[in-house]
Amino acid sequence: MRKFLLGLVMLPIVTMSQTLEECQQAAERNYPLIRQYDLIGKTTQLTVANIQKGWLPQVSAQAQATYQSDVTAWPGEMKTMMTGMGIDMKGLKKDQYRVGIDVQQTIYDGGAISSQKAVAREQGRVQEAQTEVNLYNVRKRVNEMYFSLLMLDEHILLNHDLQELLAGNERKLQAMVKGGTAAESDWQSVKAERLNARQQATSLESQKRMLTAMLSTFCGIEVREVRKPVMSVAVIQQQTGQRPELRALDAQIGLFNAQEKALNSALMPKLSVFAQGYYGYPGLNMFEDMMSHDWSLNGIIGARLTWNIGALYTRKNDKAKLQLQRDLTESNREVFLFNNRLEQIQQNEEISRYQQLMADDEEIIVLRSAVRKAAESKLSHGIIDVNDLVREINQENAARVQQSIHEIEMLKEIYDNKFTTNN
């Protein structure tokens, strides 16, 4: 998934997107969070590279100057004897100096460096998984705006049909007024209703422009129009294994396992070789330094075995903490799966409900259309007044709007279900 998303960044930006899938992909490319994938990967590589350098020789330089209250000296009798022999035994000076370099090379670290690298890699995977979760939620935001635009398009289309229908009846009434078979107030009433529908169209167009601009900005492309997805009522249940939230939880478990292995390596002994060299006074030859206060070069090489058993003091509690974190993560997984199943049940029920409603929508529209046509005929024969006709026209339009709402809402529930199951 990471490679796929990174590949999307390299795709050229298109100038128009119509399908929901195109908008989702464009939004993921455009969302600033996508850049974190590359940053997390590079950071992890640098961290691992730095840890690996623990196998390189560790070099430190030091300089020190000290003044001691007392120094090693010859016993008085021996010093008197040596003076009598003509030997000038000055003794060590209380002020001492040294400038040196220490070099240490790790031979065996008990797996400490390897475990540190494993922990760093797992931390990178956790960050990438969480970024994927945040990017996945971008789809839901796109869905909300996309289906809202679809709903507005349907309302605008139905409003246009309503205006055409009202305009046709307005022309008929105008002719009837001229012929003296209808009152001018009837014609004015229908005209007012048409102007009211035109005002609604103006409001709908304004909402569409605003929402289109928002979706275009969110996706980073110019969205000129949206295309209604092909209707499919196939519902997928109990398939949530591909949700990025679950992969993020798996990454957390992997991190805890790596941290537990690091606890084991902390108990292992460490073997290293070292070399120390310094220039100063006194040197390693104490007798010569007692006779001469000259600075000298000195060096030591050797091997060192260290075994810090202090990690035993907290090992039990550290392992218990990691196990508690695993248990908490598994509990979060169960909670997520439980809520996900509830969400699927709700979505499936909503889809089924809209299917049942839509089964009657077409028949309702046919009936409302027939009643409206009958009302138009009755009005032309003077059987009903214009208010009855307007009411029937509005009821027919309301039935068409209701059908549109049911269809778009069902499509949205289907795509919400796809989001819930990641299918």
pLDDT digits (tens, 9 = 90+) for 56-106: 899 999 999 999 888 877 777 777 777 767 666 777 888 899 999 999 999
Low-confidence stretches of the chain (pLDDT < 70) are 1-18, 84, 86-88, 231-241
Q: So what's the pLDDT on residue 240?
A: 54
Task: Give the closest residue to 236 by CA, choosing from 418, 39, 49.
Answer: 418
- CA angle (345, 349, 351) in 5-degree steps: 120
* Order of strands across the sheet that contains 58-67: 58-67, 95-108, 270-281, 296-306
Amino acid at 139: R
Q: How many CB atoms are located within 10 Å of the residue 390 CB?
A: 20
Q: So what's the pLDDT on residue 12?
A: 38
Task: Give the closest residue to 284 by CA, choosing from 296, 275, 271.
Answer: 296
Q: So what's the pLDDT on residue 10?
A: 35
Q: So what's the pLDDT on residue 386?
A: 86
Q: So what's the pLDDT on residue 91?
A: 76
Q: So what's the pLDDT on residue 77?
A: 72
